[in-house]
């Protein structure tokens, strides 16, 4: 098994990620999150929200709907142009992203696929005789819109078409005026939004990296282009993004790099765009993007709605459309990065068994502590262990395990990434001490039960 297969297998085995609707055969590019995965997902969102919204004085949050008025997506350009280049296998009619097929065979001398026009991609496919993964000829490239369409309306025949949002960002732009009018913000300030977005992705096999449904954490940072230097705001966010990934989440720096979009790749309205790429097990790929989008989005929403989204400077009275810098990340991509970065295999011990450890930063680990009674069939140990478990649960997410032997329980908690295991044994009944076993070093120490809550609180600061 390669690293990617090992991570996918561990994610299923330990309750992080399951294929959606598996009992019916699943849905391509769709996954559910199990008990451990749900905790991890929540921790990522909470820690992002704390660092990018609550800890800052210049940010506020929003929680906007998945279904917006369809005009929003016409204004944003998604209805007209939110598409991927798609080719079809002419024999079995399976569809593929043309750029992804090209990416697989591109060599260093070639132009990068991000810079190719549709005609250039068509020529490249022909010149290199690229076939479908099943070995059949491919159609010419067609544009494939990624927005999911649905309808609202109770009476049949009177339904109107709406879209599931393709990004959380537009909910921020359409509420810009409401935030101005209902809170005390003044430029420069940012608005953050976390929530589900939907894209009809056809490329399969990338696990939770590219899915139909995913959660985005997006920020729109509004400023006056005449009084703020966009380069300073842009660089400030790049630093915050990098710090969040390396210091807060504890991801290795050598697995991260910035990639600047070339003029050809960048959207026409953007003045500068960078991707923070992570070295995923299947290659360097975008984790988090940051773009200087000028006043494009507010202007578009203003033109299409006919409502002013201008800002009035409180001192000079000058009226203008603010400019915006947008850092946008997928929570599920952060999740996959964390699994990949934290996965480690310690050499086999005397039993010949390799120790798989998910070395997650304790702050984001799904469970902080696992509590075990040494023996599950001794009522006095069970009772004491339950009381320790309930005390610790008051302050943090704690898990319980009384199955099998202690070795197997450690093995399971290491794979889940639980930083500490606490065992209640016969000595506990005599002197009120327990053993704490550290996930990364495997070392054990004894500690008084009364000291445990403070000890873990200190470790988690
Ligand atoms: N508002 C800008 C925007 O949506 P994007 O690069 O299309 O930009 C932002 O998306 C982030 O959302 C990406 O960097 C990635 O982390 C995440 N993302 C995009 N499509 C995704 C998908 N199909 N599955 C999982 N995450 C995705």
What number does the ligand 1 atom closest to the CA of 199 have?
Answer: 23
* pLDDT, tens digit only, all 461 positions of the chain: 899 999 999 999 999 999 999 999 999 999 999 999 999 999 999 999 999 999 999 999 999 999 999 999 999 999 998 889 999 999 999 999 999 999 888 887 778 898 888 999 999 999 999 999 999 999 999 989 999 999 998 666 667 899 999 999 999 999 999 999 999 899 999 999 999 999 999 888 899 999 999 999 999 999 999 999 999 999 999 999 999 999 999 999 999 999 999 998 898 899 999 999 999 999 999 999 999 999 999 999 999 999 999 999 999 999 999 999 999 999 999 999 999 999 999 876 667 788 999 999 999 999 999 999 999 999 999 999 999 999 999 999 999 999 999 999 999 999 999 999 999 999 999 999 999 999 999 999 999 999 999 999 999 98
Q: Which of 289, 298, 301, 335 to mutate to test the pocket of ligand 1 (most atoms within 8 A of CB)?
A: 289
Whether 73 and 147 have beta carbons less than 8 Å apart is answered as: yes
Which residue has a Cα nearest atom 16 of ligand 1? Answer: 330
DSSP state of 347: P
- Bridge partners of residue 84, in order along the sequence: 144
Which residue has a Cα nearest atom 26 of ligand 1? Answer: 330
Which residue has a Cα nearest atom 7 of ligand 1? Answer: 167
Which residue has a Cα nearest atom 27 of ligand 1? Answer: 330
Nearest to 191, CA basis, from 62, 373, 362: 62
Which residue has a Cα nearest atom 17 of ligand 1? Answer: 330
The C-alpha angle with vertex 180 and arms to 176 and 183, in degrees rounded to 5, equals: 125
CB atoms within 10 A of CB 184: 7
Burial of 186 (0-12, 13-18, 19+ CB in 10 A): middle
Cis bond upstream, residue 188 (ω within 30): yes
CB atoms within 10 A of CB 372: 28
Residues in the chain: 461
Which residue has a Cα nearest atom 15 of ligand 1? Answer: 330
Nearest to 241, CA basis, from 169, 313, 289, 298: 289
* CB of residue 195 inside a 6 A radius of ligand 1: no
- Return the pLDDT at 157: 63
What number does the ligand 1 atom closest to the CA of 201 have?
Answer: 23
* CB of residue 332 inside a 6 A radius of ligand 1: yes
How far is the C-alpha of 125 from the C-alpha of 199, rounded, in Å? Answer: 25
For the range 281-287, what are the long-range contacts, defined as Cβ-Cβ under 8 Å and sequence gap of 24 or more? Answer: 281/2, 281/3, 281/4, 281/7, 281/340, 282/4, 282/206, 282/209, 284/257, 284/259, 285/209, 286/259, 286/333, 287/245, 287/256, 287/329, 287/330, 287/333, 287/334, 287/337
DSSP 105-146: H--TTSPPGGG--HHHHHHHHHHTT---TTS--BPPPEEEE-
Specify the residue for token string 């992203």.
Answer: 97
Q: What is the Å distance from ligand 1's center to 328 Cα?
A: 7
- Return the pLDDT at 110: 78
- Return the pLDDT at 138: 95
In 207-298, beta strands by DSSP E: 213-223, 256-260, 272-280, 283-294
Phi (first) and psi of residue 283, to 5 degrees: 125, 175
* CB of residue 84 inside a 6 A radius of ligand 1: no
């Amino acid at each position: 098994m390669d690293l990617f297969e090992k991570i996918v297998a561990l994610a299923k085995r330990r309750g992080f990620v399951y294929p959606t609707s598996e009992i019916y055969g699943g849905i391509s590019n769709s996954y559910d999150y199990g008990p451990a995965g749900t905790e991890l997902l929540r921790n990522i969102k909470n820690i992002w929200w704390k660092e990018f919204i609550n800890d800052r004085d210049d940010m506020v949050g929003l929680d906007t709907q998945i279904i917006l008025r369809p005009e929003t997506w016409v204004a944003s350009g998604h209805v007209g142009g939110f598409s991927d280049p798609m080719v079809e296998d002419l024999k079995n009619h399976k569809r593929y992203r043309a750029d992804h097929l090209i990416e697989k065979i591109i060599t260093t001398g070639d132009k990068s696929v991000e810079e190719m026009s549709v005609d250039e991609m068509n020529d490249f496919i022909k010149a290199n005789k690229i076939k479908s993964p099943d070995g059949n000829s491919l159609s010419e490239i067609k544009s494939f819109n990624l927005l999911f369409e649905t309808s609202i309306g109770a009476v049949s025949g009177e339904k109107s078409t709406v879209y599931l949002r393709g990004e959380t960002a537009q909910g921020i732009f359409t509420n810009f005026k409401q935030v101005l009018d209902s809170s005390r913000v003044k430029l420069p300030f940012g608005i953050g939004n976390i929530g589900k977005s939907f894209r009809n992705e056809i490329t399969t096999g990338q696990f939770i990296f590219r899915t139909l449904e995913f959660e985005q954490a997006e920020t729109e940072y509004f400023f006056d282009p005449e009084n703020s230097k966009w380069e300073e705001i842009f660089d400030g966010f790049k630093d915050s993004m990098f710090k969040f990934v390396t210091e807060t989440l504890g991801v290795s720096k050598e697995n991260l790099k910035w990639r600047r979009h070339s003029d050809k790749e960048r959207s026409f309205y953007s003045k500068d765009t960078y991707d923070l790429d992570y070295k995923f097990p299947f290659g360097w790929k975008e984790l988090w993007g940051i773009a200087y989008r000028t006043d494009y989005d507010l202007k578009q929403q203003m033109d299409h709605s006919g409502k002013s989204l201008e800002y009035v400077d409180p001192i000079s009275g000058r009226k203008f459309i603010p400019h915006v810098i947008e850092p946008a990340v997928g929570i599920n991509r952060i999740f996959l990065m964390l699994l990949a970065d934290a996965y480690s295999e310690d050499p086999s011990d005397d039993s010949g068994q390799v120790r798989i450890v998910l070395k997650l930063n304790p702050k984001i680990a799904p469970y902080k502590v696992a509590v075990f009674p040494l023996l599950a069939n001794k009522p006095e140990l069970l009772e004491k262990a339950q009381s320790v478990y309930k005390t610790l649960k008051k302050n943090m997410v704690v898990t319980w395990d009384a199955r099998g032997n202690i070795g197997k329980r450690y093995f399971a908690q290491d794979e889940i990434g639980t930083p500490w295991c606490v065992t209640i044994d016969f000595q506990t009944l005599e002197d009120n001490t327990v053993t704490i076993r550290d996930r990364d070093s495997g070392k054990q120490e004894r500690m008084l039960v009364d000291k445990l809550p403070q000890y873990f609180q200190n470790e988690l600061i």
